[in-house]
Amino acid sequence: MAFIPGIEFRGRQLRVSPVIGPEGALRVALWSILLAGAAYTTTDPDLWGHVRFGLDILRDGSISRVDVYSFTSDRVWVNHEWLAEIIMAGAFRLGGDVGLIVLKLATIACTLLLVDSALRREAIDAPIVRDGAGAIALVLTMDQIRYVRPQLFSVVAFAALLWCLTAARQGKQRWLLLIPPLFIAWANLHGGWLVGGGVLAVWTLGVAIAGDWRLALWCAAAGAASLAGTLLTPYGTELWAFLRETVGFSRPDITEWHPIYEFGWSGWIRWGVSVGLAAAAIVLGGRATRQPERIGCLVALAIAALMVIRLQAFLGLAVVFLAVPALGRAYQRARARAAASTRTGMRRLTRPVALFAAATAMVVVAINVSHLRINRVIMPAPGAVAFLNAQPPGGGRVLVWFDWGEYAIWHLAPRMRVSIDGRRETTYSASLQDRHLRFYFDAPGGSTLATDLAADYIWIPTSAPAARRLDAAGWQRLYHDSDSVIFGRASTRQSNAPLVLAATADTGIFPGP
């Protein structure tokens, strides 16, 4: 085994090469560059909430069903990601923003180890193929692993599911026993277990079509036990009802749930690469790749990812586990037939260049691991929070821009409460979410929301259509900067406050300001 260049096992003996050869140096450079890219982390709008809610659970020793952060929540809080939030809060408590980045890298490492193990089991001996497969896995799942969020755990769990299914197809049915406990954990971490359940069902049907009824029964039993296991959450059947009501292919208010074709060429690249690799594997891979269960899963995920770009990560992993092995074997056969001819001069040049690239990349890794950057493209400048925290007691209702809700919860609670945040349907009804969208974009039915909610402040982007209307509707600008504007009711004492421009230092590092 030589997953780490320069180190290998021969039998039970560990052998460390004193000098890394050109190929080993290239591998070190590749993984250093990939690690530098994977370590780069920016905030997702929900990160503040995930960590805050996890810290609350650790503090209280229980999962709250009552929302204390919003003054409008009209649903019982179903926190279906509670276990992921505990893990994230624990990482933050231990290491701050560095702890969160290390947690992210740990989940990525687990995924890559599963990929490497599956490829070894498929007789992929060439390190360059396994390295390439790991790189492909990183690139094709990048949209889900660039942030610290519960979706990371779905990526690992989906990789583990595919690892178990491919092992069972090779005659090792005992690994199917791991699937039910996997789903028990998955159901408490993130709602992506629904995708895993669908893939398990398609795989079982494909195995039955292939005529392997014994394995199909094993898979069906694992699936039934897994479905029952998803009831082992704090919510029981309530979680099923919640997911049935909220999960679907049509969620227009969430960018990640839009179809790929709405994102232009950037949306098509990863999907096109995934489908291209799958098609090439089917053509070149022979009967082993043309098994009904493999084709069925790939086709189903390709269609699903086409409709919802968020599912691209699942398609990418499926391609790596189900299609890349066939391409790897084809490469190994071609390489065995080809004559090796590498110029000595090039070999001598390769190693120092690769090691220099690796050293440079590791410097970048050190910087990226120590900086969880606040994404100011979608998050407000810190001056607005400083202004709200400086206001006198008494006005605690903030009608806030949707994406800023959990950022506001972190910095303003418990003194102020928000009108909405990224928890969406776990806390707010569809009608309340719709009214906020209508208010922001000055659509019919939204203009009276602030008055109906008796909001003390309105905090929205400067460019929001509602800002122009509020100027003419009697609301007074109390603060503004290049990102956001805060309005106050003209009848309150805040109406006489001076207009404030941003002067707060921006650390740019989570949790801010």
Q: What pLDDT sits at residue 353?
A: 86
Distances (CA, A) of 16 to 19, 20, 29, 129, 275: 9, 10, 18, 22, 39
Q: Are 277 and 315 in contact (CB under 8 A)?
A: no
Nearest to 273 by CA among 228, 241, 319: 319
Q: Which helix (H) or strand (E) holds 13?
A: strand 13-16
Nearest to 417 by CA among 461, 453, 462: 453
Spatial distance between the Cα atoms of 58 and 387, rounded to a whole number of angstroms: 30
The DSSP call for residue 438 is: H
Q: What pLDDT sits at residue 16?
A: 44
Nearest to 122 by CA among 251, 291, 266, 254: 291
State the span(s) of the chain assigned CATH 3.40.190.
383-496
- 255-284 in b/e form (b: 16+ CB < 10 A) is eebbebeeeeeebeebbeebbebbebbbee
Q: CB-hemisphere CA count at 13 Å for 189?
A: 22
Report helix, strand or coil for 367.
helix
Q: What is the pLDDT along the chain (513 residues), one digit of tens a residue?
A: 444 555 554 555 545 454 577 778 888 999 999 999 999 999 999 999 999 999 999 999 999 999 999 999 999 999 999 999 999 999 999 999 999 999 999 999 999 999 999 999 999 998 989 999 999 999 999 988 999 999 999 999 999 999 999 999 999 999 999 999 999 999 999 999 999 999 999 999 999 999 999 999 999 999 999 999 999 999 999 999 998 887 765 555 666 768 887 877 777 999 999 999 999 999 887 777 789 999 999 999 999 999 998 899 999 999 999 999 999 998 888 877 764 444 455 566 778 888 899 999 999 999 999 999 999 999 999 999 999 999 998 889 999 999 999 999 999 999 999 999 999 989 999 999 999 999 999 999 999 999 999 999 999 999 999 999 998 888 999 999 999 999 998 665 444 454 555 456 788 999 998
Q: Could you tell me the strand order of the sheet in which 484-488 lies?
A: 417-418, 397-400, 457-461, 484-488, 476-480
Q: What pLDDT sits at residue 499?
A: 56
CATH node for 383-496: 3.40.190
Spatial distance between the Cα atoms of 317 and 192, rounded to a whole number of angstroms: 14
- 442-465 in b/e form (b: 16+ CB < 10 A) is eeeebbebbeebebbbbbbbeebe
